[in-house]
Amino acid sequence: MDRVNPLWKERTAKRMGGKDELEKKLAAVAAQMVQQGISMISFKPQGQPRVYQVSPTSRTVRVNGVDVNRLVYQQWMVFVPTVTKFRIMQKVDGQAPRSYMIESTGFQVAISEKGKEDWTFIDGANLNTADLRSLFVTLPQDLELPPVGKKEVR
């Protein structure tokens, strides 16, 4: 929760009835994963990240000795493609539990003020371009999010 982008966390909390409700629901998801025998095996970046400049503000800059107002982007936004592997222990009536692996392809949206190393994140699993663009209006109109999917692996 500490590394979730504050704008995204605030919006999500409002949708879920407040910050306390959001934290309860996230804790319940983790508990449900444990109860169902799901464990995360690995989480790593895979593929080429894409970088955008976001959060413009007007600043006065000197150009050829004249003060000029210009838009200056304050933040970096990076789409980081990821692959996560999960082990699932499935119990079948009267038989020993069977283990299988799921590989989940997704992405994280990493956001930081320019010149700082303090990154916050938005998980891309249920993200759409309209939600992201509503927070960062300068994103390209033809923006395509990285692919998201799951498959069983051996």
Averaged over successive runs of 10 residues, the pLDDT of the chain (154 residues) comes to 90 90 88 88 95 93 91 95 93 80 96 95 94 93 94 88
> At a CB cut-off of 8 Å and minimum separation 6, what does 125 contact?
106, 148
Distance (Å, rounded) from C-alpha 141 to C-alpha 131?
A: 13
Is residue 112 within 8 A of residue 118, CB to CB? The reply is yes
Residue 120: predicted pLDDT? 97
Residue 59: predicted pLDDT? 87
Residue 23: predicted pLDDT? 87
Is residue 13 within 8 A of residue 22, CB to CB? The reply is yes
